[in-house]
Structure 1
Amino acid sequence: MTDAPAPPPAVGPAIIRTTVDQLAERGFPPGAVAVRAVPTSVGWSGSSSNDVPIRTATCVSALEVREQLRQRADDEWLVIFTDRDANDLGTGVLAHLATGRVRGVDVWESVSETFRATQLAPSLTSMPDARRIAMGLLSATPVSGGWPAAPGGVLTREHALDSVLESSLHVDTSQDLSQLLAWSVADESAAAIARLRDVAGDRLAEACLDRLAESTGPSRAAVRPLLEADVLPDLAARGIVLGVLTDEAQQSADERVDARVALARCEEWWGHDRPDAEVTRAFGAAATDGLTRLLAGSRRDHETALRLIDRADSLLQKVGGAELAELSDLLPSSHSRRARTLARALTAMDQSGTLAEVEAAWAALERHRLVERFRADNDALRAATRLARWVSTPTAEIAAGGDSGEVLARHSRAHLDVGGWVDVALNAASVGVDDTTTTARGIEHMVHRALERREEEARHFATALAAATRDDAGRSGAFGPEAARIWPIENLLETVLAPVSTQAGPSGVLFVLLDGMSVASATSIADDAVGRLRWQEVRVPGSPEGSRRAGAVAVLPTLTTISRASLFTGRLTSGEQAVEREGFTAFVAARLKHKARLFHKAAVDQTRRGWAVSPEVAAAIDDTGGTPVVGVVLNTIDDALDRSDPGGATWTADSIKHLEPLLLRAASAGRTVVLTGDHGHIVERRDGRHLSPGTVATSNRSRESGGEVRHGDEILVEGRRVVSDDHRAVLAVSERVRYGPLKAGYHGGAHPAEVVVPVLVLRPASAEIADGDELPPQQPRWWSGPVTAPVVAPASAPAAAPARGRRPRTADPGPALFDIAPEPPEQSRTLGMAVVESEVYQRQTELNARLTMKESALAALIDEFAAARGHRLPPVTAAQTLGVSLARLRGAQEQAKQILNVDGYPVLRLDGDAQTLVLDVDLLCEQFGVNRDR
C-alpha cells in the first residue's frame, strides 16, 4: 500500500508576487505561470513590484487552464493554481507557460531569492514554525526595494529578523538601550507591532520581538514580556521602577523590606512569576542608564525622557514604593524628597546636625538629573548650602593693629573677598522655592542665621568706618598698606585711571561707572564679562602680584550726588552731571594730557534705530587717538532700587542696558575697560522697619546729625569725607532699617554693601597679558564646594633623600607662570610637599625642564585634591589654587599632567563632564613612592 501524495501547499499573495518578480528579474515578459498549490485567496488580483497587473485563477482541468490562457491580456501576469501535473496538461498548454512547466512552491527558495542569498543558515530554517516564519518574511517584503541583501550570501536568522524590525517596526537592534526606550514610547510603535501581526502573522512578529529582547542582553527575560502593544509604552517606566527597587547597595535594611514588597506587586507586569533577581536588576540598571543618556540627548530625546520619568514616578507610587523614590537620580518626587532632606539638615545645624549632613544632602540633590526642571529651586538650595558653609566657618577676626585706616581696609577687604559673595547667596536663597513647607522653612532658617551674622559684621565695619573717617586716615591716598590697600573713591582717577591709561597706551581706556554697583552685583557682571564675552580681568597696575580685585570706599553719605561727583572730580564735593563732566575732563587733561569725554544717561540713550550704541558714544570709543579716555555712566542698577527687584536680579552685561554693546565696541577698538561704581546698595527683604529720623532725613539710609543715635541700627560719622554742612551725619547700619518709604533697595548708609565699591580692570581677549597680571577667579573657597583641611603626610613617611645634583628649593629661578602663598612649615608637611620632595618628582621636572609651574603651586593643588570629596575639584577651585584665571587653567592642568602622569598613567585626569579634575591619590602615592595616612 503506497502513501497518498502530499497535498499542495497553501499560497498567499506574498508568494504570488515573489514568483512573478523573480521571473521578471530573469527577463521574462508578462505571461502565464502555473503553480501546483492551493491558493489561500481565490481570485486575488494585484500587481508586481514594477506595477504590472497580476491576476490569479484556480483550474482543476486542462480545459480550464486553456480557457484562462485564452482570456489573458498581453500586459498582465496570469498565475494559475492547479493540482494537475505536466502530463495532464500536455505539451500544448505547457508551451504557453513562461517557464514551460508547472512550478512547485518552495517558500524558503522564495525567501532566499528575496534576500539575494545563496545559502540559508540553519539558525533560520530550524526555527519553530519555520514555514510560517518564511511565509511571514515574504508577506512583509517591502514593496519598494525589497529586503537588503544577505551579507556574504548567507541569510541568517539575525539578518532576516533585523530587516523586518527595521522595515516594519522602525527599530534598530544595534542601537543602545536609550534609543530602544525612546522607540518604545513613540505613539506609532505599538501600532507598528499590531500591523506586523496583521501582515506577516503572529509567528514572525513573535520571532522579531524575541530578537529585539535579545538586543538588551542580560535584561532579555524581563524585557520580552513587555514588548507587546498594550504594555510597550510602559517598558522604560517599569525599568526605572525596577532600577529603584533592585538597587540594594543604596538601600537601608528597612528600605530593602519595602523594596521586596513593592517588587512582589510588580509580578503582575509579566503575567507570571517575575524574572529572577539578577535579570530584573540588570533591566533596572540598563533602563536607568538608558534614560539618563536619553535625558542628555537632543531636545526631542530630552522631552521623551521626561514623559517616561513622570510615568515611572506614578508607577512607583502605584506599587507602594513611593518612600524609596529618594534613591533615584531621575524621578521628580526624588528631587522633592532630597530637597526636603537638605532643608531638614539646614535646620538641624542649630541642634545636633552638622555641616557634613548638609553637604551629603546637597551632594545627593546635585546628582539629580532633572537640573533644568528644578533649576530655580536648585539655585535657592545651592545658595542656602553656601550660606551653611559660611556660617560654619569661624567668624573672621579682623586684626585691630595699625591705625584706623588699616582696620577699615581689612574690613573692606573682607567684604570684597567674602561679604559680597555672602550677599549674593542671601539674594539667591531669599528668592525661595515653590514649596511652602519643609524646604522653604529650611532655606528661611539658614537665611535668618546668615543675616544675623551679617548684621554683626556690619556693625563692626561701621565702627571701623567711623573711626577712619574721624581720623581722616585716607588723606594719604589709600586706606591700609600697599599689600591690602583700599582707595577712597575720590582718589580712583589718580590711583586707577591714570596708571591704567598709561599702561593701555594708544589703545585708550573706557571708564564705565555703574551707578549703585555693589560688590555682590559685580560678581556676576565680572563672571559674565570674563566667561561669555571673553574679557581678561587683570590687577590694577602697580598692585602686588597675587592681589585680588581692587576696591574703594564711597564718600559719606553714600549718595550719587556726593560719591559720584567726588569720583569724577577727584575731590570731595557734591554736584550733578555738569560738575562730573567738567571735573572728569579737567583731570584727564591736567594729569594725562589727554582729551576725555564723559557720557551720561541722556547721551547714551539717544540711539538711532538699528544702533546698539549711540552714534556719538560709538564714535568716541572708536576714536582712540583723538579721545583716549571715554567715560560712560549707566544707571540700570540704581534705577532698580526704586522700581524692580535688585535682590532677585542676576546682573550680567546684557541685563544692564547698554553695557554689552559698549564692551563689544571697546573690545573692537582694543580699549582697556575700568568698571566700577559710585556706591553700593542693600536689598529690601520685607523684614525691615521704618525708623523716625528725628532730624532731617537726607536719604532712606542717612540723616542729619542730632538726636539720639540708636546703637546697632545707626552710627554717627564725622570728618572731612562726610560731605555736609557740618561734616557730620548719622547713617543707618542695619540693613533692616530705613528712614523713608518702602522701596526695592536703598543706599546712603554705612553697611559695607553700600560703602565698599568694587573696581574691575578688564583687557580684551586679544591683549597680551604679562604673567601674574591676570586675576584668578574671585570666589571664596566655600562657594564652589566644601572647605577641607589639607591632608598631612604621616610622620612615618620621611621625605625621599634629594637626588644628587638636585637644585635647592630656595633657588626656583626666574618668573614662574603659577605661584601661590609660601609653603607651610615643616612640622605640617603635607602630601603635596612629600610628592614635590620625592626623587620621582625631580626626574619628572628634569624631563620637562621647560615647564614653569612652581613646586609650591603643584603641592598646593595636590593637597587640595587630597582633601576634596572623591579627590575631585571643580575648575574654579583648581584655578584659585594655582592662582590662574579660568582661561589659563587648561594650560596649567596640562603642565600638571606632564609632571604627575608618570609613564602616561592617568594620575591626573578630566572627568566625563570634561571639566571636573580628578586625582587618583593612591596611584599618585605609588608612582612617586610616598606614603599616605589611609
Structure 2
Amino acid sequence: MSAAPDIDRRMLEALVEHWLPEAGERQLLLVHGRYTEGADRSFPVKTSERRCRVHVADQHSLLGALEAWQEHQSSHADDPDALLVVTTSVADQQFGWDLLAYAVQRRVLSVDRAEIVARRFGARDVDPRIRQEPWLIDALLDAEPAEGWPRTASVLTRDRAIQALISVRLGRAALGDDAVDIGTLLDFSLDPAGTTRFAALPDAERDGLTDWLTHTVGDAAGLLLRLAAEGRAADAMPLGVVGTAAVGETASTSAALAFGGLLGGVRPEQLIAFTEAVEGALERWVSEAESGGRHSRAARDRVLAVTRRAEELATRAGLTADLAGNRFLPSAFTARLHSVATALTAALDGAGLDAAENALVALREHHLARLEDERMRAVDLAVRVVRWLTLPLREPASVADGITTYSTEWAWVDRALTTLWAGDPAGDPVLGRAFELVFRAARQRRDALDAAFAAHLPRWTTRAGVHDTGGCLLIEQVLDEVAMPLARQSAPVIVVLDGMSAAVAAELAEQLAENAWLEVSPREHRIAAVSAIPSVTRASRPSLLAGTLTAGDQTVERDGFARFWKGPGRSGQLFHKADIGGDAGHRLSDRLLEALSDETVAVAVVLNTIDAALDHGREGDRTGWRLHDITYLPELLDAARNYGRPVVLASDHGHVLDRADGPPVPGAGAESARWRTGEPGDGEIALRGPRVLLGGGTVVVPWREDIRYTHRKAGYHGGAALAELTVPVLVVLPSLHRLPPGWTVLAADRVAPAWWHRRAEQAPAPASVPVSSERAPRAVPPIVASPRVVSQLDPHEMSLFAVDAPEESAKPGESLGERVVASEVYAGQKAFLPKAPDRKAVAAVIDALVESGNRLPLTTVATLTGRTVTRAAVLTTTLQRLLNVDGYPVLSMDGGQWLTLDVETLCLQFGVERD
C-alpha cells in the first residue's frame, strides 16, 4: 500500500457521509491515512438517513488499532450511533478477520481525494481533468470555507471547481457574478489582502490558477497575476497606464527600453492586451464616478490613486514626455489645461478663438476632466467669456435696451466672472494667470457697458413712470404685468429672493429646468424689471410687493400686498422670515401651508439668504448658488408643485460683489454703501425724479463696481450698475396647463445667449455676429401656448408608462403627430411595448419637432413633457422603439443631447400626409 495520505476532519466527514448509509449496525471505519495532529477527535456527522457521533483514533500498528476498537466497544456499548474511525498506515492484509468483520465494507478504505472533493460540493463525481491535477485537489481540500463549498450539479466540472477556489483564494472581488473577467481581476489587484494571499500560495497552485485565468480571460490576466506573485499587484494598473508609452502609435524604441526597466520580460501582444484592459477598467471607474451613485466617490478615489502612482512611475522611468498624449496621466491633463490657458491669452491678443476652442475640446477628451467638475467649469467659463469678447461691442441704446440685454446676455458674463475671480480650484498658477487676464479684459468691457447704461439714466429717471416707462418693465409693475395674468387660473406663489442678481437668476433657472419646472414669459425672452432708486431693499421691495412706487418697512410691504390682491374671490398674504418656519417636525408653518393650499390666495414669501450672505460676509469663496443653498426655497417649490401653483421668483434689486481691496471712497452724505447725497464724482452720477424714493428725491450713485462708501462687505447694492438696477423675474410652472394665453415657454437651451453654448451646440447667430455655424443645429423657435398643446400635455394624462386609451381614427384638422398616433402602423408598433407612453404626449413631441424644424434639444423635450432630462432620455428611447419602424432612423439622437426627426420617412412609414 502507498504512503498514508494526510487526512483532516473535513475529509473524514466526507468519508463518513459517504459510507454511513452502508454501515448498518457496524461501528468501525478503517481508513488508510494519517489524521492531522491537533484536529478534532470527536464530532457529529449527519446525513439525510442517519446521525452519529464520530470518534477518531490515529493508530499505525495492528495492536493499537485493536486496542482502540476494544476501548470504543466498552465505552460506547449502549450507544448504537457512536462510530469509531481509525486512521492507519497498516496494510489491509495485516488485519485479521476478527477486526475486519466489524469494519464498514470489511476492509481498510482508501481515500479517493477526488471523490472527497466531489462529496464536499454535493456532487457524485468529478470532471476527469480534476483527477489529473493534484494541485487542484490539494487546493480544494485545503481551502474549503467554514460554510462549505457551494452545492453543484451531479458532476463537479473543472471550471466550476476553479471558480470556487478563486472566490476563496483571491476573494470575491476577483469573481463577478461567478464570471471572471479582466475588469474583476483589476479590481482584485487593488485588494492588498487578496493579492497577498495569492502571492503566498504554493507554486503549483499559483501556476495552475494563472494558467486557467490566462486561458479564460486572456494575456492581460497572466501579466497581472505575475505582478501579484511578485508582490507588485498594487502597481499593476499604474504600469498599464505607463505601458502605453511602449506600445502606442507614437511609441519609440527608447520608450520601450525605459518601460522595460519598470516591467521587463513581457511580450508586446501581452502588454497591448494589458494596457487596453487597464484603460477599459479606468474608463468604467470614471463613468461610475460621474454617475453620482453610492459608490461614485470610491470610484473617483480609485482612479486618482492609480493615475497618481502612474505619474510617479512615469517620472522614475523618464517617460512623462512620451505620455503627453495619454488620457489618464495627471501631467498630460495639466499640459492640456496649460494649452487652454495659452490659447486664451493668445485670443485676448487677437490671435483668434479657434486655438482655444480646439484646446478645450482636447482637454475634455482627457478622462480626468470628467472627474474635475469645478476646474472644468472654470475653464469652460473662461472660453465662453473669450467668445463674448471676440464679438463686436454693442452699447445699450436706452435704459430698456440695457436692462433687457443685461438680463438676456451680459448677466451670463457676470456669472462667469464670479467663478474666474476665484481662480483655478486647484491653484494652478498658469491657469490662474489666464483667468486673471480674461477677467480683467471682460471687466473692462463690462465697465464700458455700465458707463454707457448710466449715461441714459439721468434723463430717463426724471420722467419714468407707469404711464411712460421708456420701454421698461418697472418694479412696481411686476405684480400687475406678470403675477396677475397667472392668477386668472391659479393665484401665484411669489418668492422674493432679496438681492438676487440676474447672474444668480440665470444659474437658478437652469436648475429649475433640470427639476422639470417650465420657465415661461409674457415675451419671447426672459423678462427683467428696473428697481426703484436707489436700488436698496427699503425702496424696491415695498414697490415690488405693493404694486406701486413706495418706500417703507415690512408693515408697508404686508399691507400693500394685501391691498393689491384684495378683490372678489381673491386675497393676498405676505410671509417674512419669522412667518415661514414651522414647529418641530414641520419645515413650513401651518399658516403658510394653509395659504398655499388655497388657489384664491396669492402667496408672497421673502427669502433673505442671498442678501444676508452679502451683508454679513457669508458669501466667502462661493462661485455660484444652488437651489438648496437658499433657505426654505426647495420646500416652497415642492409645495407649489404639489398644489399646482405657478411660481414667480423675483428680486427687489441685484447686487455687485466686492473685489476691491481699498478703503471706502470719501464722499459727503453717505447714506449707504452705494448711494449718498451731494455732488457726483468720477464713476458716479446724480439721479433725481419721481423714481428716486430716498435722499429727498436726489441721490448720487456709482455706476462703477469698485466704489463703496462704507466698511467692506461681501457685496453691495444701491448703485446704478446694471447688476444692481436689473431685477430678474423668473416665472415657472409645474405644467403647461397653467400657461396663460399668448405666453411663451422658454426652452432651457434658448434662454442663454448663443456664445454661452459650445461651438458645436450653437444655433446660427445673426449675420452681424461672426460665429462659426458649421455643424450648428437650427435655431429653435419659442413655444407659444395654444389650446391644442395644452390639451395634449395635460399632466394628468402624461404618465411616462401610462396605458393608452383606445385607438381612434384620425380626424380632419388634426396635427401630424395626432395622425401618426392614430395610424394602424403606430398601433402595430405599440403592440410590441408592454406599456406605451400616452398618445397625446407622443403626438405633442412629434408636433414640437416639426414646428422647430425637425430638431430639438433634449432639454426642450424635458420641458415639453414636464420631466427631468434623465426621464426625457428614457422617454426618447421608448419613442424610438415606437417610431423607428423596421429599424429606419425616423427619430434619432445626436450626441445624446439633440433629438432629430426625419419627417419624410415618418410620413412614408406611417402612411400619413404632411401638412
The TM-score range, normalised by the shorter chain, is 0.7 to 0.9
Cα offset, 1:426, TM superposition: 1.2
- CA–CA separation in structure 1 for the residues paired with 2:283 and 2:116: 42
- Counterpart AA for 1:103: L
- CA–CA separation in structure 2 for the residues paired with 1:431 and 1:487: 34
SS in 1 for 2:666: coil
Selected match of 1:55 from 57, 74, 77: 57
Deviations 1:352-384 (A, max 9, x none): 754333333334444555579644433333332
Change (3 A) 1:285 1:305: closer
- Counterpart AA for 2:733: R
- CA–CA separation in structure 2 for the residues paired with 1:262 and 1:608: 69
Deviations 1:885-906 (A, max 9, x none): 9679669957985898464334
Partner of 1:516: 499
Checking the alignment, whether the CA contact within 8 Å between 2:684 and 2:704 is kept in structure 1 is: yes
Cα offset, 1:587, TM superposition: 3.1
Q: Verify: 1:704 aligned to 2:704, yes or no.
A: no
Q: Verify: 1:434 aligned to 2:441, yes or no.
A: no
Partner of 2:454: 462
Change (3 A) 1:47 1:330: farther
Partner of 2:769: none
Selected match of 2:624 from 642, 650, 673: 650
Selected match of 1:344 from 342, 347, 354: 342
Cα offset, 1:414, TM superposition: 0.9
- CA–CA separation in structure 2 for the residues paired with 1:444 and 1:924: 52
Q: Verify: 1:386 aligned to 2:367, yes or no.
A: no
SS in 1 for 2:431: helix
- CA–CA separation in structure 2 for the residues paired with 1:894 and 1:510: 35
Change (3 A) 1:781 1:501: same
TM alignment of 1:21-420, pairs within 5 A: 21-24=17-20, 26-27=22-23, 31-35=27-31, 39=34, 46=41, 50=45, 52-59=54-61, 65-72=65-72, 74=76, 75-82=82-89, 84-86=91-93, 88-117=94-123, 120-126=126-132, 130-142=133-145, 144-146=147-149, 148-149=151-152, 151=153, 153-171=154-172, 172=175, 174-193=179-198, 197=201, 201-228=202-229, 230-242=231-243, 244-245=244-245, 248=248, 253=250, 256=252, 259-268=255-264, 276-289=270-283, 291-292=285-286, 295=289, 298-299=294-295, 301-302=298-299, 303-323=301-321, 327-351=325-349, 353-367=351-365, 369=367, 374-396=372-394, 400=397, 407-420=398-411
Cα offset, 1:415, TM superposition: 0.9
TM alignment of 1:438-517, pairs within 5 A: 438-470=430-462, 472=463, 474-476=465-467, 478-480=469-471, 486-504=472-490, 508-517=491-500
Partner of 1:829: none
Checking the alignment, whether the CA contact within 8 Å between 1:468 and 1:474 is kept in structure 2 is: no
- CA–CA separation in structure 2 for the residues paired with 1:335 and 1:560: 46
- CA–CA separation in structure 1 for the residues paired with 2:845 and 2:736: 24
Deviations 1:429-467 (A, max 9, x none): 222223151121122222112212211221222223334
- CA–CA separation in structure 2 for the residues paired with 1:891 and 1:105: 60
- Counterpart AA for 2:562: T
- Counterpart AA for 2:182: L
- CA–CA separation in structure 1 for the residues paired with 2:691 and 2:862: 39
Checking the alignment, whether the CA contact within 8 Å between 2:58 and 2:88 is kept in structure 1 is: yes
Checking the alignment, whether the CA contact within 8 Å between 2:240 and 2:275 is kept in structure 1 is: no
Change (3 A) 1:886 1:549: farther
Aligned residues: 817
Cα offset, 1:644, TM superposition: 1.9
SS in 2 for 1:317: helix
- CA–CA separation in structure 2 for the residues paired with 1:32 and 1:318: 68
TM alignment of 1:562-711, pairs within 5 A: 562-589=539-566, 594-604=570-580, 608-622=583-597, 624-625=599-600, 628-646=601-619, 648=622, 650-686=624-660, 690-693=664-667, 695-704=668-677, 706=679, 709-710=681-682
Q: Percent identity?
A: 27
Checking the alignment, whether the CA contact within 8 Å between 2:675 and 2:699 is kept in structure 1 is: yes
- CA–CA separation in structure 1 for the residues paired with 2:786 and 2:603: 38
Partner of 1:822: none
Deviations 1:255-306 (A, max 9, x none): 75674344222324x6x76764543444444443454466467428525555
- Counterpart AA for 1:522: A
- CA–CA separation in structure 2 for the residues paired with 1:282 and 1:615: 61
Cα offset, 1:609, TM superposition: 4.4
- Counterpart AA for 1:181: L
Q: Verify: 1:737 aligned to 2:707, yes or no.
A: yes
Checking the alignment, whether the CA contact within 8 Å between 2:466 and 2:477 is kept in structure 1 is: no
Cα offset, 1:63, TM superposition: 5.0
- CA–CA separation in structure 2 for the residues paired with 1:856 and 1:307: 47
Change (3 A) 1:421 1:49: farther
Cα offset, 1:417, TM superposition: 0.8
645-654 or 417-426, larger mean C-alpha shift: 645-654
Cα offset, 1:189, TM superposition: 0.8
Deviations 1:283-330 (A, max 9, x none): 444443454466467428525555444434433333333345654544
- CA–CA separation in structure 2 for the residues paired with 1:730 and 1:141: 87
- Counterpart AA for 2:478: L
203-212 or 665-674, larger mean C-alpha shift: 665-674
Checking the alignment, whether the CA contact within 8 Å between 1:683 and 1:745 is kept in structure 2 is: yes
307-316 or 761-770, larger mean C-alpha shift: 761-770
Change (3 A) 1:192 1:714: same
Change (3 A) 1:521 1:394: same
Change (3 A) 1:920 1:730: same
- CA–CA separation in structure 1 for the residues paired with 2:663 and 2:865: 43
SS in 1 for 2:532: coil
Checking the alignment, whether the CA contact within 8 Å between 1:45 and 1:56 is kept in structure 2 is: no
Change (3 A) 1:635 1:316: same
- CA–CA separation in structure 1 for the residues paired with 2:732 and 2:38: 86
- Counterpart AA for 2:226: P
Change (3 A) 1:192 1:924: farther
- Counterpart AA for 2:659: R
- CA–CA separation in structure 2 for the residues paired with 1:648 and 1:657: 16
451-460 or 890-899, larger mean C-alpha shift: 890-899
- CA–CA separation in structure 2 for the residues paired with 1:634 and 1:232: 55
Partner of 2:774: none
- CA–CA separation in structure 1 for the residues paired with 2:118 and 2:586: 70
Change (3 A) 1:564 1:138: closer
Checking the alignment, whether the CA contact within 8 Å between 2:654 and 2:717 is kept in structure 1 is: yes
Checking the alignment, whether the CA contact within 8 Å between 1:56 and 1:81 is kept in structure 2 is: yes
SS in 2 for 1:761: strand
- CA–CA separation in structure 1 for the residues paired with 2:105 and 2:164: 31
- Gaps in structure 1 of 5+ consecutive residues: 1-5, 401-406, 481-485, 793-811, 819-841, 865-872, 929-934
Partner of 1:423: 414
215-224 or 645-654, larger mean C-alpha shift: 645-654
- CA–CA separation in structure 2 for the residues paired with 1:726 and 1:669: 45
- CA–CA separation in structure 2 for the residues paired with 1:738 and 1:522: 24
Change (3 A) 1:587 1:843: closer
Change (3 A) 1:894 1:413: farther
- CA–CA separation in structure 2 for the residues paired with 1:391 and 1:444: 14
Cα offset, 1:396, TM superposition: 4.1
- CA–CA separation in structure 1 for the residues paired with 2:576 and 2:477: 21
Checking the alignment, whether the CA contact within 8 Å between 1:112 and 1:155 is kept in structure 2 is: yes
- Counterpart AA for 1:559: V
Change (3 A) 1:698 1:83: closer
